[in-house]
Chains A and B, each alone.
Chain A
Amino acid sequence: MDVGVFLVSAAIVLIGAVGVLTARNPVHAALFLVQTLFGVAVLFVLQDATFLAAVQVIVYAGAVVILFLFVIMLLGVDRAEDMGVEPIAGQRPLAAVIGASLMGLLLTLLLVATGGPTGTPGQTAPLGDGVDNTRRLGEALFTDYVFAMELTALLLTIAVVGAVVLVRTVKGDLQPLPVVAVATANEETEIDTQPGPESDAEGGVA
């Protein structure tokens, strides 16, 4: 049964990924992305990462893609992109070559590494001893990884503030530069163009 679930979700994931690549309309690409994210969530469940599967659906499919759709609708870019135009000559063949070599490299690596993962199982945070996955993650996050956890909280705060600052609209014309900056700029221009008065002033001071 696991094999069936894996194959079906893998097909869903790959079809969604190809859809993101080929969809001409950004809205369709976002919906294909939702498909891929759901497939990945199913694969998480298949590996007993139930908390991450829930977060994947809630945060990724629920929040991130909705944010994408908001921006698409807000900007009105939901019209089909002309895929026939290729602004940089040979961009697509080159990208295909790069992608194929990347995939070849990764798959070769997997073929060579037949022994499986060589790491040693974790001592502090073991899996598979019957304890609830969510409880395990929560305990690890708020004990061993509490500093990283706080840093991500800080990161999210900075991201929110940054987003607000970036999309803030300035009312009226563009704001003039501060007086000090303008004075400095003018002074530098004078030095560049007319060195005479500047040197006189300096001489006076000396």
Chain B
Amino acid sequence: MVVTTSWYLVLGAVLFSLGAVGLLTRRNPLVMFMCVELMLNAVNLTFVSLGAALGDLGGQLAVFFVLVVAAAEVVVGLAVVVAIMRRRQGATVDDLSVLGG
């Protein structure tokens, strides 16, 4: 038995769906960020496997840029969370619906 590209793609699909479910169910903004990271990793895995299947470096380059953007996203997102939590201790994302006015 040989590990084919499809195995990686199936794993990526399952991982992406798990991340999406976590994003929809969890209320702690930090855990929601972690679920976003899960989804990003699923896509990274897909990029690398398709790149390997086609013998193209482009997949790995895309993953490189996704990594950078994910790092920037985490930095800004966590700063927003810190700024919010200073005003309201233990705020969940549902409490932030007051921002809607």
Mask, A153-191, CB within 8 Å of B = 1, is 001101110110011010000000000000000000000
Contact A20 B35 (CB under 8 A): yes
Given the known interface contacts A21-B25, A110-B9, A121-B54, the answer about A71 and B81 at a Cβ–Cβ threshold of 8 Å is yes
Q: Known: A14-B15, A96-B21. Contact between A71 and B78, CB under 8 A?
A: yes
Given contacts A6-B7, A166-B80, A167-B82, contact A77 B70 (CB under 8 A): no
Dominant secondary structure at the A interface: helix
Q: How far does the Cβ of A163 sit from chain B's closest Cβ, in whole Å?
A: 4
Contacts of B64 in A (CB 8 A): 52, 55, 137, 141
How many whole Å from A135's CB to the nearest CB in chain B?
Answer: 11
- Of the candidates B71, B80, B81, B85, the one whose C-beta lies within 8 Å of that of A63 is B71
How distant is the Cα of A153 from the Cα of B73 in the complex, in angstroms? Answer: 14
Query: Which B residues between 60 and 101 are near A, CB-CB below 8 angstroms?
Result: 60-61, 63-65, 67-76, 78-83, 85-86, 89-90, 92, 94
- Main secondary structure on B side of the interface with A: helix
* Tally of contact residues, B, Cβ under 8 A: 73
| Chain B proximity of A196: nearest CB distance (Å) | 32
Chain B: CB-nearest residue to A9: B11
Interface string of A106-137 (1 = CB under 8 A from B): 11001000001101111001111000010011
Does A126 lie within 8 Å of B56, measured CB to CB? yes
Using Cβ atoms and an 8 Å threshold, which residues of chain A touch B41?
A: 36-37, 40, 60
Instruction: Please provide the chain A residues from 48 to 81 with a CB less than 8 Å away from any CB of chain B in the complex.
Output: 48-49, 51-52, 55-56, 59-60, 63-64, 67-68, 71-72, 74-77, 81
A-B CB contact pairs (8 Å), 29 listed? A17-B15, A18-B18, A20-B22, A20-B35, A29-B30, A29-B34, A33-B37, A37-B37, A40-B44, A44-B48, A47-B8, A47-B52, A49-B48, A49-B63, A52-B64, A59-B71, A64-B37, A75-B82, A77-B28, A99-B18, A100-B17, A110-B6, A110-B9, A116-B6, A117-B53, A121-B54, A128-B55, A137-B57, A137-B60
Which 7 A/B pairs are nearest by Cβ-Cβ distance? A122-B56, A99-B21, A125-B57, A95-B24, A106-B13, A103-B17, A159-B72
Chain B residues in the interface with A (C-beta under 8 A):
1-3, 5-11, 13-22, 24-28, 30-31, 33-35, 37-38, 41, 44-45, 48-58, 60-61, 63-65, 67-76, 78-83, 85-86, 89-90, 92, 94
